[in-house]
Amino acid sequence: MCILMKEKLVIVSVGGSLIVPDELNISWLKKFKKLIENYVKKGYKFVLISGGGKIARKYQTTARSIVKLEKEDIDWIGIHCTRLNAHLLRTIFRTKAKYRVIKNPNQKIKFTEKVLIAAGWKPGCSTDYDAVLLAKNFKANKLINLTNTDYVYDKDPKKFKNAKPVEKISWADYRKISGNKWDPGLNLPFDPVASKEAQKLKLKVAIVNGNNLKEFEKYLNNKKFKGTLIV
């Protein structure tokens, strides 16, 4: 278990699609750094869990084109890409962040710094699940998932033109959309394994498009934001 803190703690799953949409997103990273550091000055502490992004999918696709892969192999490629992105974040926040990246979200964590960086743990899930376990570890009842979409939709908007955005949804209804099965490279607002655990913990998860950091600020300020709340 973690050592509890008095300051306001925010658990953030940072989608790899924001860090590496195609190439490393330097402009976004600079804005994100500035925002986080501004809120650190206001007494906030952040746990940032990085995803793999396009770089993970490129490595996975390359490996698949050369040899037949087991699902575990595909997952491990993704996990190491999340760790590379996490080390990038830790370096960016080096004056504020814990000196090492957390890989096991269940470990006892002494967190006296202002920022904690975490990455992928083991096969069978995405870093969304790690974010949920870190929320459990730190006794947080909510987390925010910064991704590259504005909302959760009632069906896949890439396949169905009549897909409708949802502003608030229960875990039971969300899991009807996401399903219950994990597949490496699965592209959902929040993965099925993480969703099952979040529902069990009664965790509130906000899905926000991280490309619009003003909406992230609204969330931090407890204001109405553009996005989806899963409860």
If one counts the domains in the chain, the total is: 1
What's the count of helices (H) and strands (E) in the chain, helices before strands? 8, 9
Q: From CA 214, how far away is CA 11, in angstroms rounded?
A: 17
222 three-class SS: coil
Place of tokens 């502003």: 167
The CATH number given to whatever domain includes residue 117 is: 3.40.1160.10
In a domain, 29, yes or no: yes
In a domain, 134, yes or no: yes
In a domain, 75, yes or no: yes
In a domain, 2, yes or no: no
In a domain, 77, yes or no: yes
Please tell me the predicted confidence (pLDDT) of residue 156. 80
In a domain, 31, yes or no: yes
Q: Which domain holds residue 135?
A: 8-230
Residue ranges for the chain with pLDDT beneath 70: 1-7, 184-187
Task: Name the pTM for this structure.
Answer: 0.92
In a domain, 3, yes or no: no
pLDDT per residue over 60-86, tens digit each? 999 999 999 899 999 999 999 999 999
